[in-house]
């Protein structure tokens, strides 16, 4: 698999925790045409809200799409910012940007880029 996310090589240190995972997420919009079920395993946590890919678990939101765009072995902490690395569109590789644009064209809206700490 080609890299979809550029992770910083400097300015961040490992906290000793597990790594980070970056996802492209599209929450369910019931007015979206040709809505497809998201096929992922388990429950996905999205910006402090639990979302279920199938809607079967007791969850706040369902997703139409959840794609793992990249991950790290270590959590990336920036002491100056007092925060973990948060991926954004500026961190997309050329391949990541192509996929992001394709998803935008298919779904009619940009996916949200979500960075999660793997604890």
What pLDDT, on the 0 to 100 scale, is given for residue 104?
A: 94
Supply the pLDDT for residue 96: 96
Quote the pLDDT of residue 5: 96
For residue 54, what pLDDT is reported?
47
Residue 38, Cβ neighbours under 10 Å: how many? 21
Q: Answer for the pair 45, 118: CB distance below 8 angstroms, yes or no.
A: no
For residue 45 the two structure tokens come to 């946590």
Residue 104's SS3 state is helix
Q: CA-to-CA distance for 93 and 78, rounded, in angstroms? A: 21
Task: Tell me what pLDDT residue 49 has.
Answer: 46
Mean pLDDT split into 10-residue runs, the chain, 119 residues = 89 88 81 51 50 48 80 91 93 96 91 83
**Tally of CB atoms within 10 A around 55:** 14
Domain ranges of the chain: 13-117
Beta strand ranges found along 7-46 (DSSP E): 13-14, 20-27, 44-46
pLDDT of residue 30: 58
CA distance 85 to 62: 25
């Amino acid at each position: 698999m080609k890299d979809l996310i550029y992770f910083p090589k400097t300015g961040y240190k490992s906290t000793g925790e597990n790594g980070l995972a970056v996802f492209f997420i599209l929450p369910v919009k019931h007015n979206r045409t040709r809505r497809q079920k998201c096929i992922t395993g388990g429950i996905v946590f999205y910006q402090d809200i639990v979302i279920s890919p199938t809607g079967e678990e007791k969850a706040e939101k369902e997703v139409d799409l959840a794609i793992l765009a990249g991950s790290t072995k270590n959590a990336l902490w920036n002491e100056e910012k007092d925060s973990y690395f948060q991926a954004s569109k500026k961190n997309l590789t050329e391949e990541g940007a192509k996929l992001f644009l394709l998803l935008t064209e298919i779904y009619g809206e940009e996916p949200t880029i979500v960075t999660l700490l793997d604890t």
